[in-house]
Every structure is written in structure tokens, then in C-alpha cells.
Structure 1
Amino acid sequence: MSEPMTSTPITVEHVTLRSQKSFEAVRAALEAAVPPLDHAYAELLRDGNVDAARDLLERQAPLSIFGSRDHGGLLLTAGLTRKAVQYDIGNPLTAARTTRHVLSAALYAPIRVLLREDEAGGVAFEYDRPASTFGQFGRPEVDAVARDLDAQLQKVLAEAAG
């Protein structure tokens, strides 16, 4: 019988990408470059229309915003006024390319990205590099997808921050 819980330490590379632009300008640039995900694919899958769902996903952008949360607004409950938006960014087909090999990779797909303004007004993106989070699984197929995702994410965030 296996143990009910196991634990494995991993090393994660955390990235901070600073911007000289305002929070609003960086947010607008990101949201213009990375469109919202069309979630209609999920209903197609629920209805058994796999080919139609795949076709819809293949027509979407390489990276999409699955959703976002106003984390700065949440800080109002602690008496703080800060600008911070947490995004889930990725691509469902890319996620399937990793999870088909290791289902546990779903823990990291889509990628969580934070856009925040610090107390001094400095603006930055923060995220954990996909190659490090997915790398824990030790699967070359997953590592290749993670490296591609790293490059895509870094490019779009650098452009928005620039």
C-alpha cells in the first residue's frame, strides 16, 4: 500500500520583469496583445464535439487570458490601496501537450502572471518560469513544451512592459 501523502521539494525560477511605463499602460498593452480565451470550446467538449472544439482552439491566439482577478481590489480589505492584477495566461492546446504526458502538469497550466505596482509606484510582471515548474516532471516532451511557452510568455510580457 502506498503512503497517503508524499512530498517532493522542487526548485522554481521566479521572474520579475520591471517596466518604466505606468500600470495602466502596461495593463492595456498586455490585454491588447493577449486576447481573452473564447471559452466556447469547453461547451463543445461537453457536448462531445471534439473536432469543433479543437478547430476553435486552433484558430485562437498562441497565448490567451483564461481569466483575471483584481488582487489590488482585494487588498482594500486589509486597508491597502495597491494596483495588482493576477492573470491566467496560456493555451488549452499547449496545456494538453503537457498533460497528455503528465497529468500533474495541469497544476501549472495556465501560467499565473501578476502585474503589480509596488509602494513606490514601480510596475512589474512576476511569474514562475514554466521550464522550472514543468521541469520537475523530468519528461523531455513536457520540457520542450515548457521551453516554447517560456519564450512566448517572455516575449509578450517584455513587449507589454517595454
Structure 2
Amino acid sequence: MAPRIDDGIFALLRYGESTRALRELEACPPLTIFGQRDHGALLAIARLTRRSIQYDIGNPLTASKMTRHHLSAGLYAPIRVLLREDDDGGVAFEYDRPASVFGQFGSDNVDTVAKQLDRDLRALLEAAAA
């Protein structure tokens, strides 16, 4: 899977070190994990046992390439990916394709970035599944 985002990048931005943050982001992998939630653990409330983890996956540089053209695209960045176990024990990733999600903004600039995000996310998940 992807590495966790280095929160130091956000500290750099808070302190006005945008040039340094940009250099660090350009050296990062295409996608990183911003956070995760164990949805399977929540099922214990219903006395069920299933494994299901939701990940927030993205790249701040990629997000900025979209939000500079349409700020509302930030509502969907980072992308959510669910890794879940089926009733029969099979495992699957589920996610909304970035090109579909960001396509709602009708921006060629956003669409171009979202299509690359589609490719990057697919490659990441295929590598994780191998």
C-alpha cells in the first residue's frame, strides 16, 4: 500500500515555507495515505465480525492542481478507498473513480488531473493486491 503522508509538509505550509513544501511534495510518491478508519470494528456494535478499513489516499500537489481551477474539488480530495472482506472471505477494494467524481465540475483542467489520478490509484491498488 502507499506510505503515510509526512505531516511536516503541512507544517511547512503553515509557516509560509511553500517553496520548500513544493520541493518535498515533488519528491513524494504519487499517492500517500492521509488517514484510515476501521469500519469493521464498528460492526462489533451489531455483534458482527468483518474486516473493513477505509483509507483517505491522495497527494496534496495533485489536489492543488485541481483546486486552483475549481476550489470545490477539495471536497473530494483525498479520495476514499475501502478495503473490505466479503461474506465468503474474499477481499476487495472499492472506490469512486476520480475522473467520475471530479468530472462533475466540467473543467478540462480538473479532468486532466483526475484522469492521471485514476491511473495512479489503479496502479497503486493493483500493486497492493498482487
1:148 aligns with 2:116: yes
SS at match of 2:55: strand
Q: Quote the residue 1:59 is aligned against.
A: 27
Identity %: 61
Q: Quote the residue 2:94 is aligned against.
A: 126
User: Partner letter of residue 121 of structure 1?
Assistant: G
Q: Quote the residue 1:43 is aligned against.
A: 11
Q: Quote the residue 2:57 is aligned against.
A: 89
Q: CA RMSD in A?
A: 0.9
TM-score (norm 1): 0.78
In 1, Cα distance between the equivalents of 2:78 and 2:100? Answer: 14
The structure with the greater share of residues assigned to helix is 2
Relative contact order, higher structure (CA 8 A, sep 6+): 1
SS at match of 2:16: coil
In 1, Cα distance between the equivalents of 2:40 and 2:94? Answer: 15
Q: Quote the residue 1:102 is aligned against.
A: 70
TM-score (norm 2): 0.96
Gaps of 5+ in 2: none
User: Partner letter of residue 107 of structure 1?
Assistant: L
Gaps of 5+ in 1: 1-29
SS at match of 1:65: strand
Cα distance per residue 1:2-29 (max 9 Å; x no partner): xxxxxxxxxxxxxxxxxxxxxxxxxxxx
Q: Following superposition, which runs of at least 4 residues in structure 1 exceed 2 angstroms of deviation?
A: none
Larger Rg: 1
